[in-house]
Structure 1
């Protein structure tokens, strides 16, 4: 190879090397940019899902045992009741109608844990406001006549006694409620009860609150449909349609 050809070959390589040096950092910046866009889009989608579709809550009390245990995590369908109607038997999460909950002191967290929990709450993976909400099972819909107890100790809805396989009662107890009640559910409201019937401060025991024990539909956040954590407790939450089958509407129509 002549000296002239070597020189030409070297000169040809120099622009290529300069282009490669310029391309490498630009490729890294492009990757970082794309990664940031993906993260922002993922957070935005998670936020929209949490706001409009589903979100997570944890169980702070024993009022729903054995269906739900303390500190279980549940996933809530927020389309109920905005787009999907509530049915008798649904397990619903709702904001305190006023006077149901004892005011709780703020949870004390270090700044790192608090910031992490806040970030998770934005995408629906944490529920720092669970202590401001309640979870119960819907027994009566607007207009329903709910009462307890008949001769067999059962709750009745519009005159139909309920066979409630989901409730927990103290040993030897057969009455579905310790105390009797007889109520007609107002329009736009619900009558709710905990599955742990003798350890649940539900509609029966909030008659002295502003809502008289009834839960406004507007306070319902959504219907709980699955236990997501811990893994050992994973389960779909049944609404027991057979328990509420055959109940006539308040107007007498099926």
Structure 2
């Protein structure tokens, strides 16, 4: 499963392999074919590199997922990208919990809000920025947000932890949050390159690091010296949602380069 834009590239590479495989004897025509194949391969590689850079430079958060499961081989590729992430002193201070059990995801979703006012996490847990609700977004009975787990705009709720077919919980030792964040981003980019949509959230840490932390350590296999810091949602994007819907396109614009970068030249 790959991004649609890479399909022609794969077709070119396949044609090159077939041509080279069919050429059993050396001949001027064969040499010419080999040179052409080499040239095509170089062009294909450049095209792929350019496409990958373009994708990484324009990654957007996926707000709506289908129920289609993530391929097991793709899942392993994504996890290997996380495991092979560089870390300080190569300590690799992280753990990844792969969650596809919808009942577990729903449990985390419900316990994020159960028994507390939204905005008041249990002792020992801090309220992440992405757990804030926009003004006017109501609360249902029992303290759960009305209309969906995560923030919503208009009448369309955006994806929460229970809305993706695959969620990877990223845990790490205290002080290693940057390393864990790099691993999370590596996995997110890899998933995007494989054709999936992704969303990174931290609000489920309210439940996982809260009053039932010991239970969640056992359930998710989180090492004793680590705590959950992020959750990576992965799945095929639901393209049936119109991009013109306010809840879909309500994200703020990216800040311009000149406002965000300082150059210190010698």
TM-score, length of structure 2 as denominator length? 0.31
Higher helix share: 2
In terms of Rg, which structure is larger? 1
Normalised TM-score (structure 1): 0.32
